[in-house]
Homo-oligomer: A and B are copies of this chain.
Amino acid sequence: MKNTQGHSLDFLFHPNSVALVGITTANPLHWTRTFLDALIESEFARPLYLVNPKGGEIKGHRVHTSLRDIPGNIDHVIGLVNAHIAPRLVEECTEKGVRAIHFCTAGFGETGDPERIKLESELVEAGRRTGIRIIGPNCMGIYCPESRLSFSPAFPMEGGPVGFISQSGGNSVYLVRQAMLRGVRFSKVVSYGNACDIDENDLLEYMAADPETRIICLYIEGIKDGRRFRKALEKATREKTVILLKGGTTEGGARAVAGHTAALAGSRSTWEALCKQLGIISVRSLDEMIDVLVTLLFMPLPGGRNAVLFGIGGGASVLIADEFESRGLRVPALPEEVVSELQEFTPAAGNILRNPVDYSQSMMDAESTRRAFEIVSRWTGTDFVVTFVRTGQFVLPWLSGARLHMLLGRFWIDRDRLPKPMAMVLEPSLLPQEAEAILTAINECVSSGLPVYYSFAAAANAINLVLSNAQTRPGAV
């Protein structure tokens, strides 16, 4: 039987001390060094120990030759050792009062090699015998801004309402790094890998009860106990919004899962049906997950599906109207009275006073832009407004940081006075001279609490998913 004493997993996220066992002393770019870099950068404030039989020093931290060598208790071990000695490390940890070991180490069941499958069961056995809980192996472990536990440099130390349970380490790093650029912050992130002890059920039950977590994201490759997982999901969705990305829903994907975390994948239709029943938002990529998070966090729920699209670009207007309507949203015609009101102060040439409103030629006039924007927002037929400045279509002089900034400033300055939820679409650019201006604009929108999307398709898709979810779970979002 598995080691599930039923007590809260809170100790995993708030260790009193951490030891990095198996960190490389020689090569500062070795992957094991990432964990030390992360904890130094996060300014982890509790005792932090390094262990390597060779001893020595790294960045002013003494390297102990063994765990025994360390004075006092150790709460949490990050195991970076070779898979072959992992079971022995568990035994060694008992002496030091270790409560949890996160094994980053790969090379267990996921290889498909019988010897290494056996090694993983030895690890499970050692955990059970000692009572020490194990995260992994083959994963990145825990990121918790509150306790400053982190597995990657450049993660934000400001917390937020999103919990992420990810079977994959790479996907967890990707999500945190990309979502942080859009203003998303996390309560707890766990990359749990092969799940030899602590698994998706333990973590989901914990997150469902965690007061710091309002939205639960899941990247799941496979589950071992379907009944318990469903129960945990039911509980989680009762009070929180759950977003699920299921990896391995195709034949090739399922084979990849077998090689990655040795889990059983399950068919796409089964998972879709489950999500539908329980009111879970099902996404098909990490980027889609981030788009949904941004919508949930920064866009007050619109009263309906009617979008007014306001910005720059005639050809863009046509394509974004198609993007929105083909994804379940509506881009209604502006009524005569709204158009007349706009016509009073807007030149006809180069502006298109329909919906989308292409304000290309008048955008340089700050006052009329703001006035037009407020008029279309105020219209009772408008449920939300999406602003488009299709940066990629402009010739370079347009895109000086100052000009772009000025254009975009038209929209967000009066945001609090706007009567409708709004969203910004800002397309990233590869060109350095544009990239900087766009990044600045993205940062300013994010600081103002606006939802930012990188494409019209992404915005339409996420807003549609959130609206559809809200309809099935009234009052929950």
Instruction: Name A's B-contacting residues (CB within 8 A).
Output: 29, 31, 34, 37-38, 82-83, 105-107, 110-111, 113, 116, 138, 152-154, 166-174, 177-178, 181, 219, 221, 245, 247-253, 255-261, 284-287, 313-319, 321-326, 330-333, 348-350, 352-356, 358, 361, 390, 392-397, 403, 428, 430-432, 435-436, 438-439, 442, 455, 457
Contact = CB atoms under 8 A, between A and B. Distances in A.
Given A154-B395, A322-B252, A439-B432, A259 B83 contact: no
30 contacts: A34-B395, A37-B395, A37-B397, A107-B348, A138-B314, A154-B396, A168-B318, A170-B390, A171-B315, A171-B316, A171-B319, A181-B430, A219-B315, A247-B319, A248-B321, A250-B324, A250-B325, A252-B324, A253-B325, A255-B321, A256-B354, A259-B352, A259-B358, A260-B314, A260-B317, A285-B323, A286-B319, A428-B428, A432-B432, A432-B435
Contact of A350 (B106, B113, B154, B353): B106
Contact of A174 (B29, B154, B248, B392): B392
B105 A349 contact: yes
A219 to B, nearest CB: 7
A473 to B, nearest CB: 26
A113 B38 CA distance: 62
A464 to B, nearest CB: 13
Contact of A321 (B152, B166, B256, B325): B256
A38 B259 CA distance: 54
A430 B397 CA distance: 21
Given A395-B34, A430-B428, A435-B432, A252 B321 contact: yes
Nearest to A27: B364
A118 to B, nearest CB: 13
Nearest to A312: B170
A181 B83 CA distance: 44
Most buried by B among A316, A332, A395, A435: A395
B318 A350 contact: no
A5 to B, nearest CB: 30
A260 B358 contact: yes
A168 B314 contact: yes
A251 B325 contact: yes
Given A153-B397, A319-B171, A393-B174, A348 B432 contact: no
B256 A317 contact: yes
A316 B170 contact: yes
Contacts of A313: 170
A392 B252 contact: no
A252 B113 contact: no
A181 to B, nearest CB: 6
Contacts of A457: 285
A110 B352 contact: yes
